[in-house]
Structure 1
């Protein structure tokens, strides 16, 4: 593991190959931050286990509370957990959260709130999409992500009812798939069943990268797991922990089509959140997963192969801050990590819990004027859709963002590999002036767009 070198009382650095990464506290005195996501408003959205949802200014670190969810009940590992935002946030300003509550016993539910940006912002109109899920003070999961097909994935722990992880009719020990209104997609593996994959113990990380879905999962003692999630696959728990390497595990894996992990941590490190990194700011981490751990007190770099189905040589970073739980990446290539030292199992410093920002301060985004001039939009003005044209081959993965007059991101979409033309829907956008920005490797192209 690479240790941090001290630069000042506030900032430390560590090397990643030829790149120097700085680590600076952004926000302090938090209480068990559980989820961090980069929002379409260019703020960090955060949950804290006690029930508070906030927006965090990534420049100043100011925490802007939105709500404390009234019926959240914390118990050991339980409380307010994962969160995700609707991908068309301007037209559908929905915030999805999962948390524990009491209802004739300890339970878990998925709830959708509606966001209003008026004033300092607020959340209202809670709508239960899936409730009554068996829960326990430990092994609650739970992360959320929304896929491009507008379905939602939700992880659940086994709630200490180990055999239920293999019961495809139970909601625990699973990755679940739902429509954004809480209904069950018609193309789920089992008709009328939210189950997407099963045989999970306590998956606490979930991310989509290069068209694939990855999850990080707590093992019991022997191995934590990084899994490639596939529909209707069995991941082995409770018979199998980690790899299929014991005689009893091998027989079960063969008989039950068990998907072995891409990577395992042995012994367990309490692996938690995971994010995908593919930005030129830290070139050594391009096409990597970055996973943070609680007991392990570290961040692990997991290089993906070109097809995303295997992991190369892993490396550990970011020691010295204690337990680490959540991680997200900004479009500018900065990485935000939360500590979890006030969760009853850590040794909190005076300023804990914190959000840390990792960045390469020497990185400057390059712009080629000639190529930038060849970045085109049509039609412009536009009403329903606009086509983006890239100037020839790009220098890396290309992300296109549409910004309103206040600079807020109102659309985000990706160019496929080798794709030069991309059609973007303008549905739900108000008439006005917008800015379209395409970030491709080390280049960035910008154009003004008028929506009628």
Structure 2
């Protein structure tokens, strides 16, 4: 069990960077084994990135474009556009992308998979997983096939990460769709709801919200998927809030997940495991979080949208409209319950959630990092001190957090390090095969914490890919 206590800031070793215009190089302000440059900027809400066997970058833009970016020059071209994409902002549109292991190998077809939002026949947005087959040069899409569709889609807590495992299965994260807060205060959180056999047979995927899915490349359910509550479905794990990143380390699957007002998480995913949300945020320690199901409140539509905000979760006051606020220890933990490996960050009850430095946007100063992606720095990577580490990107304070793994690569250990800090929002981090380059993608717009710890609305590098190369 690894709790990162923000109030103490112990073990959080930081380095900062000042970025410049595209093409310019710079050194980090504190000693780092990397030198960085802005590879390209001005991309339109870039979201996911994959590195092919030639070291080139495949990038998704939320508005529906798949880009091929030259990893040396930053020059890029549109390889494909989804005409039916629903662009709902940073969390809805074209999101996840993953390459087949034989992509550009010459052994077979050049195949990639993508996840994007589209509008169904009834006018409601859904998510679709598609298989794209490209020509021999991988410059043109020749065939598009639907793998899985009618999955949930919303503008908040979408999840959206898609990865192909070494087992040949596709893994996809779905968030809780913004349930139980703000505009969806009266929308029930389904992260603990499991599908019935009838729903699976009817391809009714409503219960897939707040889950990690695992499925064959044709969209069917693998025979070795876990049986949960008597049903085998696409569900691999459940009890998630907003899981935006997954990465394989060998056969082990790590995930990062955004918490509410505290307790972002890094998890080791196990088949059939329950990670506790919405009953537990971080650890079941009754600190800085209580759960109230507003959707079941009397006259829920009379509640203010801010009722699901951390203001109430940490106040300890009486729940409104005859609701009951549940402590984390009220949740019955079954044998399949799992705690996170690391939290960002654990604080005690009474923590000041209204820092005057973030008066207009108090959430920026909450004890979270707004984790957005996860990557692995390999055991044989070029930089010795970084080897066998998990990297996660943060949206709120523009940084890459590094966590060394143990010898078995199944748990984090030692100190937490923060690198490449800037006022930008880091959307995604990827590491090339030999660890000589780390690529970081930034949001086009949004709020973040500046280097002075105050609210910042100006991105240092908007819609950019930054590359950090080992010295």
Alignment correspondent of 2:374 = 274
- Please give the alpha-carbon distance, in whole angstroms, between the structure 1 residues aligned to 2:398 and 2:460: 18
Alignment correspondent of 2:465 = 355
Q: Does 1:92 align with 2:109?
A: yes
> Map of 1:145-224 to 2, 5 A cutoff?
145-161=163-179, 162-169=188-195, 170-190=207-227, 192-224=232-264
Alignment correspondent of 2:418 = 316
Cα distance, 1:341–1:58 mapped onto 2, change above 3 Å: same
Of residues 14, 21, 26 in structure 1, which corresponds to 2:34? 21
Alignment correspondent of 2:271 = 231
- Please give the alpha-carbon distance, in whole angstroms, between the structure 2 residues aligned to 1:165 and 1:43: 36
- Please give the alpha-carbon distance, in whole angstroms, between the structure 2 residues aligned to 1:6 and 1:351: 7
CA contact (8 A) 1:216 1:273 kept: yes
- Please give the alpha-carbon distance, in whole angstroms, between the structure 2 residues aligned to 1:113 and 1:344: 34
Unpaired runs of 5+ residues, structure 2, are 1-13, 180-187, 196-206, 288-326, 346-366, 449-455
CA RMSD after TM alignment: 2.3
TM-score (norm 1): 0.75
CA contact (8 A) 2:16 2:29 kept: no
Shift of residue 253, structure 1, vs aligned partner? 5.4
Alignment correspondent of 1:39 = 52
Shift of residue 26, structure 1, vs aligned partner? 0.7
Alignment correspondent of 2:339 = 260
Q: Does 1:113 align with 2:153?
A: no
Shift of residue 63, structure 1, vs aligned partner? 0.7
- Please give the alpha-carbon distance, in whole angstroms, between the structure 1 residues aligned to 2:37 and 2:82: 30
CA contact (8 A) 2:446 2:457 kept: no
Cα distance, 1:243–1:350 mapped onto 2, change above 3 Å: closer
- Please give the alpha-carbon distance, in whole angstroms, between the structure 2 residues aligned to 1:287 and 1:216: 17
Most deviating of 301-310 and 179-188:
301-310
Deviations 1:65-95, CA, capped at 9 Å, x for gaps: 1011111111132111010011122413211
Q: Which runs of 4+ in 1 moved over 6 A?
A: 5-9
Alignment correspondent of 1:341 = 444
CA contact (8 A) 1:32 1:343 kept: no
CA contact (8 A) 1:47 1:83 kept: yes
- Please give the alpha-carbon distance, in whole angstroms, between the structure 2 residues aligned to 1:233 and 1:197: 5
Unpaired runs of 5+ residues, structure 1, are 362-452
Cα distance, 1:350–1:217 mapped onto 2, change above 3 Å: closer
Shift of residue 144, structure 1, vs aligned partner? 1.3
CA contact (8 A) 1:15 1:21 kept: no
Cα distance, 1:10–1:150 mapped onto 2, change above 3 Å: same
CA contact (8 A) 1:234 1:256 kept: no
- Please give the alpha-carbon distance, in whole angstroms, between the structure 1 residues aligned to 2:254 and 2:460: 34
Deviations 1:165-188, CA, capped at 9 Å, x for gaps: 111211111100001111110111
* SS of the residue 2:406 aligns to: coil
Most deviating of 277-286 and 212-221:
277-286
Of residues 73, 78, 81 in structure 1, which corresponds to 2:92? 78
Alignment correspondent of 1:301 = 402
* SS of the residue 1:272 aligns to: strand
Q: Does 1:128 align with 2:141?
A: no
TM-score (norm 2): 0.72
Deviations 1:399-440, CA, capped at 9 Å, x for gaps: xxxxxxxxxxxxxxxxxxxxxxxxxxxxxxxxxxxxxxxxxx
| Aligned pairs, number | 359
CA contact (8 A) 1:85 1:94 kept: yes
- Please give the alpha-carbon distance, in whole angstroms, between the structure 1 residues aligned to 2:460 and 2:422: 14
* SS of the residue 2:163 aligns to: strand
- Comparing both chains, which one has the higher relative contact order based on Cα–Cα distances under 8 Å and sequence gaps of 6 or more? 2
* SS of the residue 1:318 aligns to: strand
CA contact (8 A) 2:134 2:141 kept: yes
- Please give the alpha-carbon distance, in whole angstroms, between the structure 2 residues aligned to 1:209 and 1:49: 27
- Please give the alpha-carbon distance, in whole angstroms, between the structure 1 residues aligned to 2:390 and 2:382: 15
> Map of 1:278-427 to 2, 5 A cutoff?
278=378, 279-312=380-413, 313-333=415-435, 334-342=437-445, 347-349=457-459, 352-361=462-471
- Please give the alpha-carbon distance, in whole angstroms, between the structure 1 residues aligned to 2:223 and 2:440: 37
* SS of the residue 1:284 aligns to: helix
CA contact (8 A) 2:272 2:336 kept: no
* SS of the residue 2:329 aligns to: helix
Alignment correspondent of 1:403 = none
Higher relative strand content: 1
- Please give the alpha-carbon distance, in whole angstroms, between the structure 2 residues aligned to 1:124 and 1:304: 41
